[in-house]
Structure 1
Amino acid sequence: MAQILNINRTGKFIDLFSGCGGLSLGLMQAGWEGIFAIEKTEAAFSTLSSNLLSQGRYSYAWPDWLPRKNMEVGELIANHVDDLRELRGTVDLIAGGPPCQGFSTAGKRDPNDPRNKLAEQYIKVVELVRPSYLILENVRGFNLSFKKDESKGQEQNFPYSLVVKKKLEEIGYGVSFKVVKSSDWGVPQHRPRFILIAKYGVSSNDFDPFSDIDLFREKFLRAKGLRVDRPVSAGEAIQDLETFGKKLIPNEDSQRNGFYELSYQPPQHLNGFLSLVRAGLENESPNSMRLARHSDAVRSKFSDILKNCPRGVTVSKSYKAEMVIKKQAITPLCKDLPSATVTTLPDDIIHYAEPRILTVRENARLQTFPDWFEFTGAYTTGGKQRKNTCPRYTQVGNAVPPLLAEAMGLLIEVEMRRAI
């Protein structure tokens, strides 16, 4: 891909708040060399490690001074200040997606949410390492103002993106940001994302890596074998994983018995998207294909939604009340349109043709993870464990779509080429 865009320089990056590795994978696919990644949850780091630390298709050049284990970014700063300073001049890019719950429009949007402060840890590492470029990915709410709540002492009525921008400018970075639609970049879901790109040693007024983004987007999609005139649909991404009339076999990559999965047979003719995600696998089946065990009542409710509700649109409040559905949001997919945003909650989305939730692999397809990328750990957790664990559905929902990350990585490489 880099050669197609006439880029011949390989940059080196660090990934903070890496999750299971979606952002890292995309950057590596764009030709970047990963140095290391920091992720606090054991389960997500296990997935990242098994895919990107095993000397397989891609691998980090992990430094000897850093343990190969899950840790918080605060722990990295506390224990390795000198090691981080010594990286100055050797790192081209720091990438990261600080946890976004405090900014999400799907949540409470609390300006005092402690998770908002994780962006400051990102900035602290930037101060120590001083890379040439930065990329920060987050939900679109990162660029929306908070509503004042005087009863809670909330005075901030401006986007947190401006706080981050000011702090980065104070340490010498020119900053530019944009909210992009993932579906514009070959991702088969709408998923609007906030993307910040910064460059050291320039003014924000003189830095705009997004200036030619429409032309770049067309080149990127054509190079990936994807259509330019319309987005990839949910059906194009997961139609080969439909189960009606097909053989099911016992699922063997779960910690629990009694689950089944599709006996996968790849289609004879792959569309452009499937050609990307199936590349290099031939007839191999992807992992994380476990089908949910829905009760008859749940299947009946899902069937009613598929029969009576518009596809690709969140079920209305009135219909939820009528059907006694307590979920905040549930969306039946439309086969011919991109999916709703994949979240960490498995039952936020219903399959377009079958009365069931999606499998982890189907969600991973909608997030553009290739089929060779294997997820590890429990599929789901509930109750009190949910806040402290990161099962497969959560790993996928929290990830940066690798295809979008690849595009942004190439966009930065184009900017680097201009500077040479």
Structure 2
Amino acid sequence: TRTVAVRLDNQVAQEYERLAQLKGDKLGTYLRDLLTSNLQMASIERQALWLNYIELFAGCGGLSLGLEASGHNLVIANELSPMAAETFAYNFFNESLDEQHLEHTLWINSNFSKNEVSKRLRENPKTYPPIMNSGFSDLDPSTQLNKKLLVGSIVELNKLLQQQPELLKQIQDEHLEGGLDLVSGGPPCQSFSLAGLRQLGNERNTLPWEFAKFVELTHPKFVLLENVSGILRAFNTDAGQFYAWYEVAKAFSKINYVPLCLHVNAKYAGVAQNRPRFILLGIRVDIYAEIIQKLNEKEQEILKHSYQFLEKLHQTKKQTQKALVANQPAPAALSIPDDACHYCDLRTLTVREMARVQSFPDNFKFLSKVTTGGQMRKFEVPQYTQVGNAVPPLLGVALGLVKLLIDELKEMESMVLNSLKLEAGLLAGTTGGALAGFGAYSSVGLLASASTGTAISGLSGVAATNATLAWLGGGSLASGGFGMAGGMIALGGIVAGPALAIGGF
């Protein structure tokens, strides 16, 4: 929008003198055409800047009004109060809620039917029936959610989206046309406010966590949460001080959003009111990775602390237990569920997932109870512990092959030593064997390819030696052969064969 404003200012400056020379209808026609042209350009510019957003705890629409003025595009809004929803619907959708057939405003659930709109508008939100139990809902799997105001509890909305994946899919970042850029909202905050009754146990204090649950379901790129500055003040409890803002930041970190917590005052944005507010800006970790290097040094320094907060939270009490890295080996300690968490979902691994890390095939079945705790840890060996304590089967394969090859090499060594004790006439035979071995080794270097597909003749040094021995051994271990050790045995056979044949064996 700033780009548009600058362009319009420049045009006005350039055309001002011409405007002064025009008279009568010509002036009116010129101004009309100029305004129409500039509005069209401004519309094109704004569409290019549009970001899709969802507004929770929408109220009468203050935050949405500002976001739309900034070029954002409202996908859906949610508001508990039907009275506030009436104002929102009128201003954003030009819809009067006293009409019988509403296009944009839908009730998540109500004690009254669609035909009783006047009763819905005066319904006490605390009496809304739980979703799927009773009441009248305007939503079903075929409902199109775009440009809708959903009246009802965010708690029930989260339940509905979990129960009806067809609805959830419409508003998820990966499925929504253009993606879901932002979920924003200001959860009711009277119980946090220093001007009100500060009540830690107030049920409204759980709403920021419901906000986080909605974010976890929809996967927006960014999160914007606004609340009173009283959320920064600690609650005194029997267990010590409780910092609500810190717990909210943890809730978003746990679902993989980097939380930037700010204390701002609306007066610095041009508002004629001294209005300090807590703002949490959450950035999805993959988006954070994309943008961090594009920011200036000061911005990077600020966000670095937020990212460290997220990293620290994902560490467990042992300090070595972090989220797995997708393309790196897992840590060695994997014997209890919380030894490590999934690299993407940030949850504990299942028994089967830990078994896969250990290289167990999926058809290997683990029996007995899944986990244990307390004093029973001293004698019980549940499935998680069975997996963690086991020797990885692939390591067992490798060790088994090594033992086999070592035994064969010892036997070969014994045969060679015995052959050296043969009569002097055997010398010619061993020479012939050595020449045969040298010939075989050289031929492989000239004609064969390594397991990677690269011609061995194009390799040199240790790489060429290893590739040649692996070829003689029937290929690398990974490809089903006996590797370099097998090659050494085969080469030994080529050397010893002529010697043994000449010696009469």
TM-score range, shorter chain: 0.3 to 0.5
More helix by share: 2
Name the larger-Rg structure.
Answer: 2
